[in-house]
Amino acid sequence: MVTVAPLPDWLRAVYPFEPKRFATAGGTLSYLDEGPRSDEAVVMVHGNPTWSFFYRDVVQAVRPQMRCIVPDHLGCGLSDKPQAWNYTLPNHIANLTALLKSLQLKRIHLVVHDWGGPIGLGALLPQAEKLGRVVILNTAAFADTVVPWRIRLCRAPVIGELLVRGLNGFAWPATWMSVTKPLATDVKRGFLFPYDTWANRVATHRFVVDIPSGRGTASDQALAAIESNLPRLRDRPVEIIWGGADFCFNRHYFDRWAGLLPQAGQCYLDSAGHYLIEDEGPAVIQRIAGHLLKA
């Protein structure tokens, strides 16, 4: 197993949490468990190439009133980074499902972003009786053919792995391509902190390779099952909050969600990129917290 070093002081200043650990068959997950002890919690699920760091300000806003569970997927953040594990959508869903089962939660609210959409919904929709409020941030949980050339390049055989793992050509460009406002120095360092070597970038690359392609893979099948369950969200309080300047999850994806969930609240932020919490933090956090903590 490859794990990251203890957190340096500069990172603790912007990520002031004490992560917990949960063992899976593939390795140990790191996760945040913040706020009052309760069998009701909000689960925040990140994407690629981020980690629980992405939700740090949301956690601090919500945790005074609600328990917050924020995992790092295997291979991401402060979780173990096994080199031979099968990094596929069904396996990430299984890990999250196991973690949530261990916590014995009876009511689960959900915030998802990027890959967190299919992983989080893949874990919760089969147990929809537990699912409460949902916040959808720049993600997809349905099959689609709109994949930017920059991402297609990163999944190309041989060159893709060299680019992503050797040159950090996914996590590093995301620190400026996924925002419209420059990140503060330590925030940029925080996003990149877990992904500092070839070995530690294993999941960053495997997530790109695993993007469902319609060729009948296990992840294609898992995504089809999730998509078939999306109508279950129509009787749940859902808020769609979108960064309109996202080069990947663009207006096309927002419109698909709006069509699937016509009852959902909508907040479209033209000036925010893929990392919309970084670009429009106060507005996004206020909207998320307001939705989750609504009486």
Who's near 59: CB < 8 A, 6+ residues apart?
17, 32, 34, 35, 44, 68, 70
Give yes or no for a contact between 124 and 110, defined as CB atoms under 8 angstroms apart: yes
Q: Sign of dihedral through CA atoms 160, 162, 164, 167?
A: negative
CATH for 9-292, among 3.40.50.460, 3.40.50.1820, 3.30.830.10, 3.90.1300.10?
3.40.50.1820
Q: How far apart are CA 16 and CA 262, in angstroms?
A: 38
pLDDT tens, the chain, 295 aa long: 344 457 999 999 999 999 999 999 999 999 999 999 999 999 999 999 999 999 999 999 999 999 999 999 999 999 999 999 999 999 999 999 999 999 999 999 999 999 999 999 999 999 999 999 999 999 999 988 766 656 666 567 768 888 899 989 899 999 999 999 999 999 999 999 999 999 999 999 999 999 887 778 999 999 999 999 999 999 999 999 999 999 999 999 999 999 999 999 999 999 999 999 999 999 999 999 999 998 6
Q: How far is CA 288 from CA 108, 246, 251, in A?
A: 15, 19, 20
| Cα distance between residue 193 and residue 13, in whole Å | 14
Residue 235, judged by CB atoms within 10 A of its CB (0-12, 13-18, 19+), counts as exposed
Provide the Cα torsion 260, 238, 288, 34; round to 10°.
-120
Tokens of 74: 């295997």
Q: Confirm whether pTM is higher than 0.75.
A: yes
